[in-house]
Structure 1
Amino acid sequence: MHQTKQFMFETVNILGVDIAVTTLERTADRVRQWIADRKKVYLCFAPVSTLVDCRDNENYRQIVNGAALVNPDGVPVVWVARAKGKKDMQRTGGPDFMALTLKESTSEGPRHFFYGGNETTKDRLLKMVQQRWPQAVVAGAIAPPFRQSGEMEDPSVIDEINAASPDILWVGLGSPKQDVWMANHRNQLTCPVICGVGAAFDFIAGTKPMAPNWMRSNGLEWLFRLGCEPRRLWRRYLIGNCKFIYYLLTTEMQSHG
């Protein structure tokens, strides 16, 4: 599903993906407007690994570019954008955006629904949200069974989410799976905004550690996460980061050739 780019942000194209020139606060303002207008949109948060996957897979690139807003989820992404002249841009990561939105929520809304993680993560996430942001309205949460990427959801799950009437559906399946899921189910879901936020559930729940701020601000979060989960993440970071640099260099050479 390709969405109309309502309230268009300026964008910068990196490896074929149109990244919004935005900040956490700007994205939050836009989401509030979409909720007020009852727009039906989905948002992607794109780190280096997503950009590499999009470069390698045309179908996935179309899904990500089909989002109403693609946020720069990684300091290296921001560095590249600034090198292209987009100075007014900040890292806008899924975990940070989810935490900010919950912090700014009131008893009047928005209503939040969480889809992703396992049962342990879900329970700890709900507990931490209640402790840190007791004013936030939680409409529900589902820890889905494992499915292959692209597999359609059980209709009863869609019905359960719709019956809870959330304003924001947070999807924590990891990329590319969560982006494919959002695109496949956007038309069936009645909530205005769907956000694919990756490891945000684990970070907020405390089931996985978040990198220290100094590493995050210097583009080293990938190294911290690799150290925590080497067997799961080595391919994404060691191979993916090399491919990112190679793709950038070859793209620049072609543009100046």
Structure 2
Amino acid sequence: MKTERHLLFGIHLDAMRMEDVIDRCRTALVTRSRILFGVLNAAKVVNLHKDPLLRNSLMDCDIMLADGQSVVWASKLLRRPLPQRITGIDLFEQLLALAHQDGRSVYLLGAKPDVLAEMERRLQQRFPGLRIAGSHHGYFSTAESHDIADEIKASRADMLFLGITSPKKEIFLGTHGPSLGVPILHGVGGSFDIMAGITARAPERWQRLGMEWAYRVLQEPRRLWWRYLSTNTAFLYMTARELVFPTRAFKTTSRTAFPSGRRGLLH
């Protein structure tokens, strides 16, 4: 099923609802076709203009979704509307539910060893019988990444969730992604910490208002207030500029992580 795409801030985003995304994933699992997810929020909109690695990694994704409510609001203002916000953690939870329901296996890569262990424990409580094909913490060296990639491939996992930071995530996928043989790949950022109960997510009301960023600032004001103030200000300016001078679609500035068969079968 072909979905509508909208060019926003130089990146093509898929105008999809959560149910559409899950349907696409079911098909990919049956056909063993790759879906690499990407999500876009205000911070990434600001940073992708000056970060070629981030920009290239977003363009290499098979499905690009609006993670930030601000991106959804901007899409409506720019008359290229996206139907809803789909956060990385909400998609993570929906994919876990799909794996549990359909008997699919998952591989978990990221976080500190104790956080990863606690998350696995909680996942088994929430999704009894969930097939965890394997897991590894996110504090590994470049030399170790080859063995981890071999382990993921040998696990025959149906889904890979990466709770590791950029650019380590992009480097890992760019180096090993084509050989993993995993249909569903999703970088979930700090979701492992949330799922393990280490970090609290904003209440639902704050989420609906697009104020999760403010909730984070209240939790860590000294560290985050300037980051969000500068990022949100820059995003507002870029949205205003986009109204008058729409950004052309970006092109990769180096060899992409998956040079062929973006949506082809995995081997």
Q: TM-score category by the smaller chain?
A: 0.7 to 0.9
Q: Which runs of 5+ in 1 are unaligned?
A: 1-6
TM-score by length of 1: 0.87
Aligned partner of 2:132 in structure 1 is 138
Per-residue CA deviations over 1:94-143 (Å, capped at 9, x if unaligned) read: 11111112223336522111111111210111011001111321111110
Q: Does 1:203 align with 2:197?
A: no
Size of the aligned set, in residue pairs, is 247
| RMSD between superposed Cα atoms in Å | 2.2
For 1:50, the aligned partner's letter is K
- Cα distance in 1 between the residues matched to 2:103 and 2:9: 37
For 1:212, the aligned partner's letter is P
Shift of 1:248: 1.6
Matches within 5 A, 1:1-257: 7-87=1-81, 89-106=83-100, 108-145=102-139, 154-234=145-225, 236-255=227-246
Q: SS state of the match for residue 50, structure 1?
A: helix
Q: 1:76, 1:219 within 8 Å by CA — same for their partners in 2?
A: yes
Q: 1:42, 1:183 within 8 Å by CA — same for their partners in 2?
A: no
Identity of aligned residues (%): 27
With over 3 angstroms needed to count, the CA separation of the structure-2 counterparts of 1:180 and 1:246, relative to structure 1, is farther
- Cα distance in 2 between the residues matched to 1:217 and 1:57: 30
Larger relative contact order (CA 8 Å, sep ≥ 6): 2
Aligned partner of 1:4 in structure 2 is none
Q: 1:113, 1:141 within 8 Å by CA — same for their partners in 2?
A: yes
With over 3 angstroms needed to count, the CA separation of the structure-2 counterparts of 1:115 and 1:233, relative to structure 1, is farther
Q: SS state of the match for residue 245, structure 2?
A: helix
**Which stretch shifts more, 89-98 or 241-250?**
241-250
Q: 1:60, 1:180 within 8 Å by CA — same for their partners in 2?
A: no
- Cα distance in 2 between the residues matched to 1:90 and 1:182: 27
